[in-house]
Amino acid sequence: MPVITIASSLCSSHTVSATRLMPERGDHRMRVLIRASPLARRETPLNASWEAIIKRCAIYTRKSSSEGLDRGFNSLDAQRQFCESYIASQAGEGWTALDTRYDDGGFSGGSLDRPAVRRLMADVAAGTADTVVVYKIDRLSRSLIDFSSLIGRFEAHGVSFVAVTQAFNTTSSMGRLTLNVLLSFAQFERELASERLRDKAAASRARGLWQAGPRPFGYQVERGRLILDEGEAEAIRYAYRRYPKVGAARLLAQELTAKGILNKTGMPFTKKSVTDLLRNRLYRGDLVHRGKSVPGVHTPIVTEKSWARVQEALADVYRIHRPFARPSVPNPLRGCLFGPLGWPLSQTFCHHRNRLHRYYIPTGIHRHGSGDHYRAADLDAAVLAAIADFIPTEVRNGQGTSDPDILRRLVSRVDIGQNEMVIALRTGAIVRTPVVGRIRDRGSSKTDVTEAPSPAPVPDRPPRTGRSSVGIPR
C-alpha cells in the first residue's frame, strides 16, 4: 500500500515524535519508529512501532517510431535510466522501482491502444503499483482528453503520477493549469506533424505515386513505385473474367480456392475480400486519396471494358438483394466510445422476436479479453442526458432531428471509467457525469431491447434471367 503521512492520521489524538531508521541489508521496506510523547492522550494505545511500506514505482516508456529499437541501448532504455535515477534520489522517501518493464516501442501517443499501457492500467487496478513515473508527460499521452482520463483513473486507485523532467503539482490550480498547457502543446505538436505527413501524402497521390503502406495484391513495391506481379495479376484478371458469369462473390471465392489461388498472406479468399478486389480502382490504373480518384503512374491490370462489366454485375446483385435487407441499425456513437482501459468499443446487435438488441463491446483483439459490454440504449440515453444543456436551441427544436442525429452531430469522444464518464463535444467542451444505474452493471441482464421498426413488405423475388450460376470446376 502507498506511504501515507503519519501525522495526518495521528495528530488528532496523539503528539508523536518520529525517528527514521536505516533499512537493513536485504530488507526492501523503510521502517519508521513512532514514539508517543508524554503529553499525548492515552485513550487509544499506540503500537510499539509502525512500519511504512515503500512506494512501488512503475516506470513507463514510449517511442513513436520503431527505428533504432534493435540497438543495444535505445531511447526506451535511456528514458528508463533517467526515471531510475530520479527514483534512487527519492530513496529517503521510500521510493523503489518495480522490475516490470512497461515499454511501448513504435506506438503513437495519440491513442491509448498500446499493449504496455493496457498492462500498466491492469496492474494499477490490481494495486501492484503506487506511483507511475515517466520521463516526460507526452510519453504517457499526447492527447489532452486521454491524459485527463488516465489521471482520473490513477486518482481512483490512489496512484500518484510523476514526470521526471517536468515538475508540477496537480493538487493546486496553478499546477493543473501548467499541466494542461504542457499537454495542449504536446497535442498541438502531434497534430502539426500529422498534418505535414497528410499534406505530403496528398501531394504524392496527386502525382500518382504510391505512399508507404502494405503492398496491394497484384503489385510489388520498389522505391515507392508499384511494379506488376504477373502471377497475382493473372489471378486478378481471372476473377474479373469469371465474376459476370458466376454472379456471386461467395461462389467466386470458392472457385479461387479450388484452383489454389490464395491472397497475398497465403490465406483463401473470402466473400468480402473478393468484393473488395472487384471494387478496387487501383487495378484500373487509379489511386484513391480521401475518396478522390486520380490517375496513377503504375501499370493497370484490367481494361476499362472489363472493369465496367464487373461493376455492372455488382450493381445488378445489389439491386436484386437490396429489398430483402433488414432496416438499418442506429449507431450514433460509432468510433467515439472507449472503455475503462482505453479500448475502443464497437456496436453489436441481434434480432429476436422482432426486437432489436444493441450492445457496445470491446473491439477486435480486446473483445475476448474483457467481459465489459454496455447496453447501447442506456448508454446513448445517459450521454444525451449529460449533454442536454449543450444542445443548441435550433437543434433541440428542429423538426425531424432525432436523438441519434444529435449525438452524431455533437459528441466527438466518450471515455467510460469505473465511476465516471467523460464526454468531449465537438465544440471543445468536456462534460463529466457519474456512471450509475444499468450502465455500471455492464450488461449483466438481457432486458435491454429496443423495438425494431416493422419490416417493409417483402416483394416477390424477381426471376433471374440472362445469368446462370456456374459451379466450381473440377
Closest CA to 450 of 366, 390, 379: 379
pLDDT of residue 168: 65
Show the DSSP H helices in 264-416 as ranges: 271-279, 304-321, 376-386, 393-396, 403-410
According to CATH, what is the number of the domain 54-206? 3.40.50.1390
Q: Is 421 exposed, middle or buried (0-12, 13-18, 19+ CB in 10 A)?
A: buried
- The reported pLDDT for the residue numbered 234 is 93
CB neighbour burial string for 273-290, b if at least 16 within 10 angstroms, e if fewer: bbbebbebebbbbbbeee
> Quick one: CATH architecture of 229-324?
Alpha-Beta Complex (3.90)
List, by residue range, all CATH 3.40.50.1390 domains of the chain: 54-206
Query: Residue 364: its pLDDT value, please?
Result: 64
In angstroms, the CA 431 to CA 386 distance is 7
Q: Which of the residues in the chain have pLDDT under 50?
A: 1-51, 171, 443-474
- Residue 135 identity (one-letter amino acid): Y
Q: Where in the chain is the domain with CATH 3.90.1750.20?
A: 229-324
pLDDT at 465: 46
pLDDT for 457 = 46
Give per-residue pLDDT as tens, 284-329. Answer: 988 877 677 778 888 899 999 999 999 998 888 777 665 555 566 7
Cut 0.75: pTM above it:
no
**DSSP code for 340:** T
Distance in angstroms (rounded) separating the CA atoms of residues 68 and 71: 6
C-alpha cell, 46: 499506540
Rounded to whole angstroms, how far apart are CA atoms 211 and 363? 28
Q: What is the DSSP string of 103-116?
A: EEET--TT-S--HH
d(CA 336, CA 344): 8
Task: Yes or no: say if 443 and 375 are a contact pair by the CB < 8 Å rule.
Answer: yes
pLDDT for the residue numbered 367: 54
Residue 432, helix vs strand vs coil:
strand
